[in-house]
Amino acid sequence: MSFFTHQITRGLSSSAVRNVVIKHVTIIGGGQMGAGIAQVAASTGHSVVLVDTSEDILQKAAKGIEGSLKRVVKKKFADKPEAGAEFIQKVMQNVSTSTDAAAVVQGTDLVLEAIVENLKVKQGLFAGLDKVAPEHTIFASNTSSLPITDIASSTSRLDRFGGLHFFNPVPMMRLVEVVATSATSQESFDSLLNFSKALGKTPVSCKDTPGFIVNRLLVPYMMEAIRLHERGHGSKEDIDIAMKLGAGYPMGPFELLDYVGLDTAKFIIDGWCAMDPGNPLFGQSPMLNKLVAEGKFGKKTGEGFYKYK
Ligand SMILES: NC(=O)c1ccc[n+]([C@@H]2O[C@H](COP(=O)([O-])OP(=O)(O)OC[C@H]3O[C@@H](n4cnc5c(N)ncnc54)[C@H](O)[C@@H]3O)[C@@H](O)[C@H]2O)c1
């Protein structure tokens, strides 16, 4: 598309939808990331509907949010337990749950997806919601590694589609990568940027390139730590200690891999390897593949590189 045509397309598509002030958010996926985003959005006065595939998962997510809020309150309201309890009650009132995304997107300003890292599944979800969500609703994905452009291609709202990439644990991590594709309108991008700020986060602008900024640097680093261990050049414990004490990182690469989820890490590296097979930074790891094949995904399953109670 020529520069001129591109500008016209942007102008036309964005004229229909001016800056949307995001107040009502539908978050799809109540796992680690979705529940964390829901907590932060509800804590900052947004109305949130959290969607997942079963009531059991949603109950677990709601419990997790409440538990996390209790930890926040312990610190923030140390001298005022009643005010703390009131805060939790108020935040929880901002969160409702559903197993039917299509039924709850009416009236939502933003659909933010944090489901399994699988392109076809994400495309299927958004294609369905595109038909029922209001015209002004912006769609965003929290994907760690998939091109936002590819996810958005399943919808007819390319100008109202972007990336909002949060970090784990969401309540603690201050960064949000706000991703614009070549079709994302300036208005939609600004709405996503302002929403990130309203959550109390610091946004950075990213292009729709693999891994955006943080993961493009972090994933090759973690993979190289595994390869270093595979070559027998250091134990995982020593590598973790070395990077914490020598580089000042809060977690070593193996601790971080277990925290992120080895399944997620493998998914990312598999995708990048398929995209650019000759790139040594994107090479496979037999050790990672074996752990994932054994269902050892890290902290969330009780075992990864380390064991957890
Ligand atoms: N874990 C991280 O550190 C991290 C960081 C940033 C971004 N991400 C990205 O966030 C997304 C979610 O990651 P996570 O770690 O929270 O995963 P998770 O496995 O903890 O949670 C995913 C949730 O999505 C639900 N789900 C799956 N398909 C669904 C569907 N069609 N409709 C509704 N719910 C559905 C699952 O039941 C599960 O509860 C992924 O795209 C991942 O790449 C993860």
Distance in Å, CA 142 to ligand 1 centroid: 9
* 3-state SS, residue 64: helix
Q: How many CA atoms lie within 13 A of 258 on its CB side?
A: 18
| Joined tokens for residue 8 | 């016209």
Instruction: Answer whether 199's CB lies under 8 Å from 176's CB.
Output: yes
* 30 C-beta closer than 6 A to ligand 1: yes
| Joined tokens for residue 236 | 């995982």
Tens-binned pLDDT, residue by residue, of the chain (309 aa) = 333 333 333 434 444 456 889 999 999 999 999 999 999 999 999 999 999 999 999 999 999 999 999 999 998 899 999 999 999 999 999 999 999 999 999 989 999 999 998 899 999 999 999 999 999 999 999 998 899 999 999 999 999 999 999 998 999 999 999 999 999 999 999 999 999 999 999 999 999 998 999 999 999 999 999 999 999 999 999 999 999 999 999 999 999 999 989 998 998 999 899 989 999 999 999 999 999 999 999 999 999 999 998
Measured between alpha carbons, how far is 9 from 13 in angstroms, rounded to an integer?
6
CA of residue 101 relative to chain centroid, distance: 18
Distance in Å, CA 191 to ligand 1 centroid: 23
Whole-prediction pTM: 0.88
Q: What is the pLDDT of residue 19?
A: 80
Extended beta strands in the chain, E state: 24-28, 47-51, 95-98, 110-113, 138-141, 161-165, 175-180, 202-207
Instruction: Answer whether 61's CB lies under 8 Å from 38's CB.
Output: yes
DSSP 256-272: HHHHH-HHHHHHHHHHH
* 97 C-beta closer than 6 A to ligand 1: no
Distance in Å, CA 113 to ligand 1 centroid: 8
Instruction: Answer whether 254's CB lies under 8 Å from 306's CB.
Output: yes
Q: What is the pLDDT of residue 117?
A: 86
Measured between alpha carbons, how far is 228 from 287 in angstroms, rounded to an integer?
11
Handedness of CA 17, 20, 23, 27 (dihedral sign): positive
Q: Whose CA is nearest to atom 19 of ligand 1?
A: 31
Domains plus CATH for the chain?
3-207 (3.40.50.720), 216-299 (1.10.1040.10)
Which atom, in ligand 1's list, is nearest to the CA of 259? 3
* 115 C-beta closer than 6 A to ligand 1: yes
User: Which of 194, 183, 174 has its CA nearest to residue 150?
Assistant: 183
Angle at 221 between CA 286 and CA 278, to 5 degrees: 60
Distance in Å, CA 241 to ligand 1 centroid: 29
* 143 C-beta closer than 6 A to ligand 1: yes
Q: CA–CA distance from 165 to each of 87, 191, 193, 282, 283 (Å)? A: 27, 15, 11, 21, 24
| Joined tokens for residue 34 | 């979705």
Q: Which of 115, 144, 268 most suits a substitution to test ligand 1, by most atoms within 8 Å of the C-beta?
A: 115
* End-to-end C-alpha distance for the chain, whole angstroms: 54
Other C-beta atoms within 10 Å of 279: how many?
11
| Joined tokens for residue 75 | 């610190």
Q: Side chain identity at 180, as an amino acid letter?
A: A
Q: What is the pLDDT of residue 17?
A: 57
Does 34 count as an annotated binding residue? yes
CA R_g for the chain:
20
Measured between alpha carbons, how far is 199 from 167 in angstroms, rounded to an integer?
13
Which secondary-structure segment (H or E) carries 294?
A: none
* 144 C-beta closer than 6 A to ligand 1: yes
Q: Side chain identity at 150, as an amino acid letter?
A: D
